[in-house]
């Protein structure tokens, strides 16, 4: 298990895996007063969390399915990426896709955080690519009928 340094300025518990098979950990809003988000309004919500990821890791901020289904709230730039060299507060860009105003309260679970390894690449300029069965078939071309 990889160790990640974290600072928690909020009074809320650290993000944690809720089950043994969970990939994500819930992020909670850290706000002084409840926030009302109007339909189609976007807002950045602080968490009070700061992390130092090792090089070769990223953290992805993703929507919570329950929040999206029940309230129509989702993450604007989903998934949002936190790079290993970022040291600022984890903030969550939220949008209200419902037709009603929605309330976010302090401590509410607003997104999930997934930490993943990644690799970096070097581009190799070429004049052609190897052929595949799929070829240049784009949207909707990866499945069978």
Domains of the chain by start residue, with CATH: 8-117 (2.70.40.10)
Determine contact, residues 66/24, Cβ cutoff 8 Å: no
CA-wise closest residue to 72 among 112, 45, 38, 122 = 38
What is the four-CA torsion angle of 24, 29, 34, 40, rounded to 10 degrees? -60
pTM (2 d.p.):
0.88
Helices within 44-111 (DSSP H only): 65-71
pLDDT in tens, 52-61: 999 999 999 9
User: Phi and psi (nearest 5°) for 65?
Assistant: -60, -40
Report the pLDDT value the prediction gives residue 141, as an integer from 0 to 100: 66
The mean pLDDT values, 10 residues at a time, for the chain of 145 residues are: 96 96 97 97 98 97 95 95 97 98 97 96 95 80 62
pLDDT at 142: 64
Nearest to 46 by CA among 108, 127, 119: 108
Q: Which residue has the tokens 């919500």?
A: 45
């Amino acid at each position: 298990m990889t160790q990640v340094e974290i600072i928690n300025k909020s009074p809320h518990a650290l993000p944690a895996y809720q089950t043994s098979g969970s990939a994500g950990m819930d992020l909670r809003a850290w706000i002084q007063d409840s926030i009302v988000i109007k339909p189609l309004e976007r807002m950045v919500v602080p968490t009070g969390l700061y992390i130092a990821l090792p090089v070769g890791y990223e953290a992805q901020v993703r929507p919570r399915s329950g929040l999206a289904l029940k309230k129509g709230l989702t993450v604007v730039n989903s998934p949002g990426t936190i790079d290993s060299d970022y040291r600022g507060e984890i903030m969550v860009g939220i949008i209200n896709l419902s037709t009603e105003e929605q309330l976010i309260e302090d401590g509410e679970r607003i997104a999930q955080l997934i930490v993943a390894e990644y690799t970096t690449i070097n581009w190799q300029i070429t004049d052609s690519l190897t052929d595949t069965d799929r070829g240049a078939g784009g949207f909707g071309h990866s499945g069978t009928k």
